[in-house]
Amino acid sequence: MSATADSIAGSGDPAQLTVLYSTSEDGWVTAQIAEYPAAISQGRTQHEAWTNVLDALHDLTHEPTAAERVASTVQARIVQPLSEAVESLGALLRGIADAARERGRHPVH
């Protein structure tokens, strides 16, 4: 099954794109732009897959601004490692709290 989109995402250019759709056994719809085979995505509905594949096309063809490159670097080098550290600390604190609760159940004589 296929459909034609009226324009490239983020462009006023009246280019025609061919979007190919397929539905998997689990019901998810995959969309791929024939003219840009690397632009592929999926969604629960054909419309959601279409929206997602246009976002994928934008990501493939969009040159990031300096601000977007900085934001991506901050995310990768600061936010993500910090999130992982906080998650590890949370797990450690939960373990300590569980051990303290367990110790409280068994009085020391």
If asked whether residues 7 and 18 sit together in one domain, one would say: yes
Contact 54, 62 (CB under 8 A): no
What 8-state DSSP symbol labels residue 13? -
Are 72 and 30 found together in one domain? no
Does residue 35 sit in the same domain as residue 85?
no
Same domain, 104 and 53: no
d(CA 103, CA 90): 20
- Domain boundary at 23, 43, 61, which? 61
* Full domain range(s) for residue 36: 2-61
26-30, 83-87, 88-92, 101-105: the lowest-pLDDT one: 101-105
Q: In this predicted model, what pLDDT tens digit does every residue of 1-20 receive, in sequence order?
A: 545 444 444 443 436 999 99
| pLDDT, position 8 | 41
Same domain as 97, residue 48: no
Encoded tokens for 5: 């989109």
Residue the block writes with tokens 């300096």: 66
User: What is the identity of the amino acid at 38?
Assistant: A
pTM across the whole model = 0.51
Total domain count, the chain: 2
Neighbours of 58 (CB within 10 A): 14
